[in-house]
Structure 1
Amino acid sequence: MTALLSEKNYDTKQSIKLLTFNTWGLKLLSKHRKARLQAIAHELANPKTSDDDYDVAALQEIWCEEDWAYIEHVCRKKYPYRRVFKSGIITGPGLAVLSKIPIVETFLYRFPINGRSSAFFRGDWYVGKSIAVTMFQSHVPGSLPIALLNSHMHAPYGQGDASYSTHRACQAWDFAKLVRMLKKAGYAVIQVGDLNSKPESLPYKIFTVEAGLTDSWNVLHHEKLITKSEEIAKLSSEDQIKLAGVTCNSRLNTWRKSSKAGDACRIDYALIDAENIIPIKAQVKFTEVLPSPLLCSYSDHFAYSVELKINSQAQHVTPEDMHNLKEREGVYKALIAEIKHYRRVTIPFQAIWRKVYFFISVIIVIGMHVGIVFVADVAGWISVIFLLITTILIVSGLLNGMIWYFGVRSESRALQEVQMEVEDAYTYIQDLTMEKTRRSSQSHRKESSDIHVQELQ
């Protein structure tokens, strides 16, 4: 079931077809991982229809080298330009790109704020979540060069600090800075990926207000836009895909059959520089079920595909601040409040209990070393227990001490840096607002004076 979502009659001579897809490639944890990713590779390499034939495919969660090796081998002929990105302690950010368009340059920006080192069971910090930037050659002569920013932002795991909303907001801030620079450099900018942020969230507002990007889905569905969770929950599973572009937690996905209707959401995007890029049509892809014996969805996400018409260099529109000062001021205030709350509540809690654990474990270990002298003569097995407990305390104490001194302190400083950057931007916006008000007031007084002079004459 592939739903054609919107289409307009444009001259597609300068268009490209783009796919973004979270492939769910977790080693050991993702069921049927190898078979599913091999199926995805074959679908990309051997499209059944022209709608399935993409110029660029941006992939997320390619976390196993053997999976990438297979995809690269199968897609070598169809996509002569390929790149997988590396960072982090474990595997890497899971980001890859397949392209028919020549790649000119690539670089990886690793998020400085990306979870906690203590959350080893979540892994975001260890894989080094990043933004993979790929600059392409003009796909037709005279067309603007394309800059593609592919990312998989920190996932939400629960409520409170487990939601990692502050981390995603800071990642969105870094995204916005990169986007603004690339737009000024003359690129047609496209931001894609599993951004783990709903359309009404703060990160999404940072993308659209601060970075000046536009949601390609919204452009094509502005007449009947469905973005709120309560609106999506009222739709059938089919209409959630067709009308709301749902890519995550759809009941039609075999891995998410038990999801609540209100959990369905759109967190996989293609955000564009709307001044230089025109979306032509959009589709939710890879919604089919794999044949027997698998009988499962390709991934726990659906893919999102969009066809885009890129301006020529002669049509290039230089970037301006597309949003009014009031909108930007509101975004800055919300982001500053988010960071301040995290630094006031979560950081002290994490720092204090790990620091206390470290020093208490030091005291207990010293006591255990003294105590073992007295218990050794009582029974040999007691000294063995003392040694075991001492070893556990030494290891756990050192780990918590290192997390406190290196991890929590580093996270706190990184958050403080973002806060100061936003405060700088906020101060600048306030100055602009005051200057605008002053000029408006002067203009009003001058008009009143001119009217008064005319009346006297």
Structure 2
Amino acid sequence: MSAANLRSSVSGAAQDAATVTSDTVTSAADSATGHSIKLLTFNTWGLKMVSKHRKARLRAIADELAGYSAAIPIPGYESLMINETPEQGKQYDVVALQEIWCKEDWDYIVSRCSQAYPYSRIFYSGIIAGPGLAILSKIPIESTFLYRFPINGRPSAIHRGDWYVGKSIAITLLEPISEDTAPIAIMNSHMHAPYALKGDAAYACHRACQAWDFSKMVNLYKKAGYAVVVVGDLNSRPGSLPHKFLTVETGLVDSWEQLKGKQDLQALSKMEPLEQLRYGCTTCDSFLNTWRSYLPTESACRLDYALIDPSRLKTTDAGPRFTKRLPGIGSFSDHFAYACNLNLLSNRRTTDVETGDETPSKRDIQLQKYASYEEMIQCISSYRVVAKRQKFLRGVHFVISILLLIGALVVTTFTSNRAAWSSIFWVFFAVVVSVTGTIDGLISFLFGRKEIRALHEVEEEVSCAQKHLQGLLDVKKR
């Protein structure tokens, strides 16, 4: 269905804001017969007690998706609001959300959007709150599946929380919208965050390992005949190793680049904020976002994606959404949303689809894969040194804690006779040593071993793929 027809149907349903009927479900059916879907992905920044104005912002997001907007354009940047009408939220067929970490926020979203989006699912994993992944859909959901990343930060990084929430891939299989198009697999994820551009805090190896696993899941569903769409906050810039795994390794293309062509990231960093958003769809760290306006303009980047299978899907429109501001609060989230319109190509179609750039040859793709494998093996090798060192130091701390505990018990027997009050100090000292030593011991012997073995497993997988590709390249050289 065309955007104009869908806009018309939704506008008719919204004339009486007090009564929303089943017209939205009919609209979804009409959209399906048009062989296209409209997709939105949005990192909502919903951390409890951390995110500012969380409750008000998440409710405003739900209201916007339900078609009731109280937001206003950014002063002086009204031209950004192209296609962002009060009814825009209801026009999406699928909405993929990240950082939904409070049950009351999700309950409100489901209640507010139940008529606009009759099908919904939030995913549960991890120790605290879950991965924060959720989906709203007008298209019936056939089945869902959650894959939790085995390599995902450290339990010692309590202040970061990635390990505790259990970063995952939330896979949602939608019912086919027509007989001659492939069923759709929405793979929504929020990969491990970078807390620095370089060094151990960048968690580059963790994201690369996650992207490697991600690529395997994508290829499985592609072979099963699904039109795969990878969405979410992937915390990886275009051209990075994780981005290569999710594109070169899988054959997926960036929907934004399919429509606009590849981006010159250096030129993008020198542009004005408005041009960055228009040219590069900089959904993260934009100066125009009130929660990130303290950052320099060159920090703006694109971390929110919709990666699609070009043999089954084609981008017809795309751009940032939720760029407006809420009076008295600011931007909806610390990210802008990303939306795209995707045409589903007929299963009978055999011609190649334009990807926004010249299609590389098969050999070029193989060489790119080989280079990615080399980079990955080096990345794992470098991080393994860090992982082993941390495991060793925590093990040493555990052993030292045992010795200190024994020493504290011995010292207490001597000092208590001379100064009874000192016993309190030594008891407190023993408790602290016991708790911290035990925690570090568990992290060393349980998590440390698990992480090193998981890294070794990924390394073996990459090496196996590299050897196979080396054989193919050698054959072609003869």
1:23-58 deviations in Å (ceiling 9; x for gaps):
000000000000000000011011645644100000
Q: Tell me which residue corresponds to 2:244.
A: 205
Cα distance between partner residues in 2 of 1:57 and 1:432: 41
Instruction: Check the 8 A contact 1:212/1:323 in 2, yes or no.
Output: no
Q: Distance in 1 between matches of 2:245 and 2:351?
A: 21
Normalising by structure 1, what TM-score?
0.90
Residue in 1 that maps onto 2:375:
334
Contact kept in structure 2, 1:144 and 1:316, CA below 8 Å: no
Alignment pair present for 1:140 and 2:174: no
**CA displacement at 1:322 relative to structure 2:** 8.9
Residue 233, structure 1, aligned to residue 269, structure 2: yes
Q: List aligned pairs for 1:298-377, cutoff 5 A.
A: 298-315=332-349, 324-343=365-384, 345-377=385-417
CA shift for structure 1 position 312: 2.3
1:282 aligned to 2:318? yes
Aligned residue in 2 for 1:160: 199
Alpha-carbon distance in structure 1 between the residues aligned to 2:349 and 2:113: 34
Question: 1:212 touches 1:322 (CA, 8 Å); kept in 2?
Answer: no
- Superimposed CA distance per residue, residues 263-299 of structure 1 (whole angstroms, 9 cap, x where no aligned partner): 10000000000111100000100000112x32x0000
Whether the 8 Å contact between 1:182 and 1:189 is mirrored in structure 2 is yes
Quote how far apart the aligned CAs of 1:311 are. Answer: 1.5
Alignment equivalent of 2:305, drawn from 259, 265, 269: 269
* Aligned 1:58-457 pairs, distance under 5 A: 58-158=96-196, 159-222=198-261, 225-228=262-265, 230-291=266-327, 293-294=328-329, 296-315=330-349, 324-343=365-384, 345-438=385-478
Distance 2:297 2:33 in 1: 37
Q: Is the contact between residue 233 and residue 262 of structure 1 (CA under 8 Å) also seen in structure 2?
A: yes
8 Å contact kept, 1:136–1:146: yes
Q: Which moved more, 1:138-147 or 1:317-326?
A: 317-326
- CA contact 1:276–1:317 (8 Å) conserved in 2: no
What CA RMSD, in Å, does the superposition of the two structures yield over aligned residues?
Answer: 1.8
* Most deviating of 51-60 and 93-102: 51-60
Is the CA contact (8 Å cut-off) linking 2:172 and 2:185 kept in structure 1? yes
Give the 3 Å change call, closer, same or farther, for CA 322–23 of structure 1 in structure 2: farther
Q: Which amino acid aligns with 1:329?
A: Y
1:205-229 Cα shifts (integer Å, max 9, x gaps) = 111111111001111112xx4341x
1:415-453 per-position Cα deviation (integer Å, ceiling 9, x unaligned): 110000000000000111122223xxxxxxxxxxxxxxx
Instruction: Report the 3-state secondary structure (helix = DSSP H, G, I; strand = E; otherwise coil) of the residue aligned with 1:104.
Output: strand
Q: Is the 8 A contact 2:67 2:88 kept in 1?
A: no
- What CA distance in whole angstroms lies between the structure 2 residues aligned with 1:316 and 1:104? 27
Q: Contact conserved, 1:195 with 1:269, CA < 8 A, in 2?
A: yes
1:321 to partner: Cα distance: 6.8
Distance in 1 between residues matched to 2:216 and 2:362, nearest whole Å: 13
Aligned partners of 1:396 and 1:317: how far apart in 2?
62
- Relative contact order (C-alpha < 8 Å, sep 6+): which is higher? 1
| Cross-structure match for 1:446 | none
Q: Which amino acid aligns with 2:416?
A: A
Q: Which runs of 5+ in 2 are unaligned?
A: 1-31, 69-84, 354-360
**Is the aligned partner of 1:19 residue 2:40?**
yes
Kept in 2: contact 1:135–1:145 (CA 8 A): yes
Q: Is the 8 A contact 1:365 1:394 kept in 2?
A: yes
Q: Confirm or deny: 8 A CA contact 1:347 1:408 kept in the other structure.
A: yes
Residues 170 and 418 of structure 1 are in contact (CA less than 8 Å); yes or no, is this contact kept in structure 2? yes
Q: In structure 2, the residue corresponding to 1:384 is in which secondary structure?
A: helix
Shift of 1:172: 0.4
* Matching residue's letter, 2:441: G
Closer, same or farther: CA 118–367 of 1 in aligned 2, 3 Å: same
Amino acid at match of 1:195: L
Contact 2:312 2:347 in 1 (8 A): no
The CA deviation string for residues 239-260 of structure 1, in whole angstroms up to 9 with x for no partner, is 1100111000011100011011
Deviation at 1:314, TM superposition (A): 2.6
CA–CA distance in 1 between the matches of 2:152 and 2:472? 33
For the pair shown, which has the larger CA radius of gyration, 1 or 2? 1
Unaligned ranges ≥5, structure 1: 1-10, 439-457
Residues 354-393 of structure 1 deviation map (CA, whole Å, 9 limit, x = unaligned): 1111101100100111111100111111111011001100
Q: Deviations over 1:294-340 (max 9, x none)?
A: 2x000000000000001123337899979632111111111111001
**Alignment TM-score, normalising by the size of structure 2:** 0.86
The 2-side partners of 1:153 and 1:238 are apart by 27
Instruction: Report how many residues are paired.
Output: 422
Q: Distance in 2 between matches of 1:317 and 1:83?
A: 35
Question: Deviation digits for residues 63-89 of structure 1, max 9, x if unmatched?
Answer: 001100000000101111100000000
The superposition leaves residues 12-32 of structure 1 with CA deviations (integer Å, 9 ceiling, x where unpaired) of 921110000000000000000
Tell me, in whole angstroms, the C-alpha distance in 2 between the residues paired with 1:321 and 1:378: 82
* Per-residue deviation, 1:142: 2.7
Alpha-carbon deviation of 1:261?
A: 1.1
Aligned residue number for residue 5 of structure 1: none
Conserved? CA contact 2:67–2:87, under 8 Å? no
Structure 2 CA distance for aligned equivalents of residues 366 and 231 of structure 1: 62
CA distance in 1, matches of 2:105, 2:431: 39
* Rounded Cα–Cα distance in structure 1 between residues aligned with 2:159 and 2:391: 19
* Structure 1 residue matching 2:172: 3-state secondary structure: strand
